[in-house]
Amino acid sequence: MKSRKLSKIVLSTVLIFSIIGVGSVAFADPKPKETNDAIIDKSQKPEIVTAKVSKDKSKKTFSASATPTNTSTTTAYTPWGDNYAVSKSESTIQEDYISAKNRTYNGTDGSLIDSDFNEQNHSSYISAKAYNDTTYYGNDWAVGNHVYKESGYKDVIHETKDNF
């Protein structure tokens, strides 16, 4: 009798820890990656902010208050009957190149619904707007891709995500 009760306790404990462990691994955000030429953050949050990093390690960096930053956002909007998502790429400095790509996806089958892409040279802002014309949008999502390039700095690449 005691061994059966002990077996149930052990089994319950193992089951609980396996569920907790799997859940924490399945939903872990990927960490930003830094290479010699770029900083890549694909954590798929609705907003990502990254400070610029000089490619030349011997070059003096800006003070913390003056460090240029790149802010990427993707926001899904659901006004009555006209659902859409906007991905914005914003910089505190004028970039040599800046781009934003937005895609909306059907949550039922994962298919692409709509996409938009815009790019510009010598600008600090760009956006892309993609529509979502599905009837049931409760499990649909939008993904944004953002690229910032400025000579002397590592490129910054973000991937953002928001749900409808």
pLDDT at position 14 is 36
pLDDT at position 157 is 98
Q: Is the same domain home to 2 and 76?
A: no
- List the structure tokens of 94: 């004028």
Q: Is the same domain home to 61 and 11?
A: no
Number of H helices, E strands in the chain: 1, 8
Q: Is the same domain home to 152 and 79?
A: yes
Q: Is the same domain home to 63 and 131?
A: yes
pTM: 0.76
Contacts of 127 (CB under 8 A, 6+ apart): 86, 87, 88, 89, 100, 118
Q: Is the same domain home to 4 and 15?
A: yes
pLDDT at position 110 is 95
Q: Is the same domain home to 82 and 57?
A: yes
Q: Is the same domain home to 90 and 158?
A: yes
Q: Is the same domain home to 109 and 150?
A: yes
| CATH number where 60 lies | 2.60.40
pLDDT at position 115 is 98
Q: Is the same domain home to 15 and 61?
A: no
Q: Is the same domain home to 21 and 50?
A: no
Q: What pLDDT digit, counting tens, does each position of 91-116 carry? A: 999 999 999 999 999 999 999 999 99
Q: Is the same domain home to 22 and 51?
A: no
pLDDT at position 63 is 54
Q: How many domains does the chain have?
A: 2
pLDDT at position 107 is 94
Contacts of 157 (CB under 8 A, 6+ apart): 38, 39, 40, 41, 42, 145, 146, 147, 148
CB neighbours of residue 111 within 10 Å: 9
Residues of the chain with pLDDT under 70: 1-30, 57-65
Q: Is the same domain home to 125 and 50?
A: yes
120 is in which domain, residue-wise? Answer: 32-163
